[in-house]
Structure 1
Amino acid sequence: MQRRKDNKGRVLKDGEVYRKSDGLYMYRWTAKNGKRHTIYDATLEGLREKEEKIQRDLADGIRIPECSLTLNDLFELWRKNKVGLKEHTFANYVYIYNRFVRDEIGMMKLKDIRKSDILSYYNGIVRNGKMALNTLETIQNVLHQVFAVAVDDEYIRVNPTDGVLTAIKAAHQYETPKRHALTLPQQQAFLNFIKKTPKFQHWLPMFTFMLGTGCRISETVGLCWGDIDFESGFITIQHNLVYHDHEVGGCYFTMSTPKTATGKRAIPILPEVRKALEQERANQQELELVCEYEIDGISDFVFLNRFGQPQNPQTVNRAIKRISVAYNEAELEKAEKEKREPQLLPPFSCHNLRHTFCTRLCENETNLKIIQDIMGHRDISTTMEIYAEATKEAKAHSFANLNGKLGISV
């Protein structure tokens, strides 16, 4: 059988055609679904480069006919089929994608997206100040899942987001910021200042509760009176109250269960916490404050604002900042009068209060499983890290007291 040749006498392979009418080379092949497809090139060398890629894709099972799909197309596919995420987590993912990805790289075709494109996109976000580097992890989390669908469904070979965030962090010399606990004197100074300052006194029960239970802010604002059993002496943590503040969808609360099984737990009620809860109830009775705000069928929230609504986590963090600033101003003035160094409060948030409780617990409890259970840590390594940090400081303090007492000086 005589093989076809081009105008230069070169033998063409199966599927290759030289078109004399326009001088183009053409290659036809059949996809797995039985459909015929065609590509063109001005040179035989260029055509065969394309052929090789097609043959590799076919051998690897890549869906060549559907390579016109965009990242936005794949996101919609992921969004449609994604299950197992908490409602607020899923809503946040969708919001992040729509705000930062859809109009930036969402229209790019999957077949054209390379790791360098993702790297450039991430660098642009950080460089333009659109998002802090640690927050970029949320975008990475979403995109990695979306591209994983593309890999699993054989649209692309590899996930272009693999390793990109690590490279960005290395380039920016980024280290995950450590959450530091308040020292015991700082913790006591914070609470004492609230207690002695009339305009802040209404915050004392909540912050005493947080420092006496280690609850997350979402668990604290979502706490209901029905979760507290004063008779048995236990508080049951079984749901979170999450506040959404999105440009799309507006502001709203949602109730959810803990992300993991370890998040649902029982915490013993310390005497100080019992007193704080009783004080909170007394304050609300004195102000005739009743919670009539219902969220997903729940309305007996413990910590309320002056309108009888659950506290907003952002409001609580702003309160910490106002109290800390007021304390530091007063302490600076007092220290100047007393001719001493001021003992100032560092910047901190609600999560630092949780970390502070865990540190105090680690300083007084050696059973890591008990600490993990009380804190609701999914991974024991999180507990161990805080425990190691707390005991390291305790050891240093202990050895400082031993100075000159071991009888080893000569």
Structure 2
Amino acid sequence: MKAYLELEDIEKLEQAAEYLRDRLLIRLLFHLGCRISEALGMKTSDIDFKQGLVTIQHLKQRIKLSCPECNARLGKGHKFCPVCGHKVENAVADEKEHRKFRTLPLDEETMNMLKEYMGRSGANPKSKLIFNLSRHRAWQIIRDCAEKARLPRLVNSESGKVHNVSPHRLRDAFAVHAVKLNDSGDGIRLLQEHLGHQSIVTTMKYRKVSGEEQREWYEKLWD
């Protein structure tokens, strides 16, 4: 059983898409390696056709809980404040939004597909969103195309759990493909920036998934 999608799997997935919108969604998720939330939040103003660039916006919401008596930081499971001992019935929630932007290059063929889609008035005229889709519907599209293409389910290399093909598996496929072509320090650093990972440790897991170093090292022991 596979741990990730390979290039031929992505091609089958794309060919299984009946509509240009669905084909473009698959292509952007793989060729940009972006999150599904980033793809669905993409607007017409984020596309620079002259430079071949796409601006990605990633929004994260963080909720901090604090004690109403002494303002000490609390965890979700706290019933009593660890600092003042006050019984916590109504913790103060401070919700903050963190917006991060990164500008990514996009290959010419995908840009042309994007231009064709927008030329057909595919984008929402009011919101200017490229895809007028809910997150649930986007997941359905990927799942249905995977079933139509008869792609196998994927196993998580760390947990051993088996999952259906989903939008995030296309992001994983992009990362593994990139690492296979260049697993140098510079290559990993560029991939980290491209994927928008805060820590390079997160990016390094793709090197582990795609690498054959351990097998080669082990086999050399017995040469």
TM-score by length of 1: 0.37
Residues 1:186 and 2:9 are matched in the alignment: yes
1:264 alignment partner, SS class: strand
Residues 1:284 and 2:121 are matched in the alignment: yes
Query: Aligned in 2, Cα 1:189/1:241: closer, same or farther, shift over 3 Å?
Result: farther
Q: CA deviation at 1:203?
A: 0.6
Question: Counterparts of 1:154-233 in structure 2 under 5 Å?
Answer: 180-194=3-17, 199-233=18-52
Query: Aligned in 2, Cα 1:228/1:379: closer, same or farther, shift over 3 Å?
Result: same
Query: Aligned in 2, Cα 1:375/1:239: closer, same or farther, shift over 3 Å?
Result: closer
Residues 1:372 and 2:185 are matched in the alignment: no
CA distance in 2, matches of 1:185, 1:300: 33
Greater helix percent: which structure?
Answer: 1
Residues 1:324 and 2:146 are matched in the alignment: yes
Residues 1:355 and 2:183 are matched in the alignment: no
Query: Aligned in 2, Cα 1:241/1:384: closer, same or farther, shift over 3 Å?
Result: closer
> Could you say which residue in structure 2 is the equivalent of 1:391?
211
CA distance in 1, matches of 2:59, 2:115: 22
CA distance in 2, matches of 1:388, 1:189: 26
Query: Aligned in 2, Cα 1:375/1:221: closer, same or farther, shift over 3 Å?
Result: same
One-letter amino acid of the counterpart of residue 14, structure 2: L
Percent of residue pairs identical: 23
> Could you say which residue in structure 2 is the equivalent of 1:268?
105
Residues 1:237 and 2:44 are matched in the alignment: no
Query: Aligned in 2, Cα 1:180/1:377: closer, same or farther, shift over 3 Å?
Result: farther
Deviations 1:63-108 (A, max 9, x none): xxxxxxxxxxxxxxxxxxxxxxxxxxxxxxxxxxxxxxxxxxxxxx
CA distance in 1, matches of 2:197, 2:26: 21
Alignment length (residue pairs) = 168
Q: CA deviation at 1:311?
A: 1.3
CA distance in 1, matches of 2:201, 2:47: 29
Q: CA deviation at 1:271?
A: 1.6
Query: Aligned in 2, Cα 1:290/1:316: closer, same or farther, shift over 3 Å?
Result: closer
Query: Aligned in 2, Cα 1:348/1:360: closer, same or farther, shift over 3 Å?
Result: same
Does the 8 A contact of 1:221 with 1:311 survive in 2?
A: yes
2:55 alignment partner, SS class: strand
CA distance in 1, matches of 2:193, 2:60: 21
Structure 1 spans left out of the alignment, 5+ residues: 1-178, 243-255, 293-298, 304-309, 329-343, 400-408
Deviations 1:133-184 (A, max 9, x none): xxxxxxxxxxxxxxxxxxxxxxxxxxxxxxxxxxxxxxxxxxxxxx942122
Greater strand percent: which structure?
Answer: 2
CA distance in 1, matches of 2:60, 2:115: 22
Q: CA deviation at 1:233?
A: 2.3
Question: Counterparts of 1:38-77 in structure 2 under 5 Å?
Answer: none
Does the 8 A contact of 2:29 with 2:170 survive in 1?
A: yes
Does the 8 A contact of 2:47 with 2:54 survive in 1?
A: yes
Q: CA deviation at 1:273?
A: 2.2
CA distance in 2, matches of 1:190, 1:357: 14
Q: CA deviation at 1:349?
A: 0.8
Structure 2 spans left out of the alignment, 5+ residues: 62-96, 154-163, 217-222
Structure 1 vs Structure 2 CA RMSD: 2.7
Instruction: Give the structure with higher Rg (CA).
Output: 1
> Could you say which residue in structure 2 is the equivalent of 1:302?
130
Q: CA deviation at 1:201?
A: 4.1
CA distance in 2, matches of 1:271, 1:355: 22
Runs of 4+ in 1 over 3 A off after TM superposition: 199-202, 239-242
> Could you say which residue in structure 2 is the equivalent of 1:306?
none
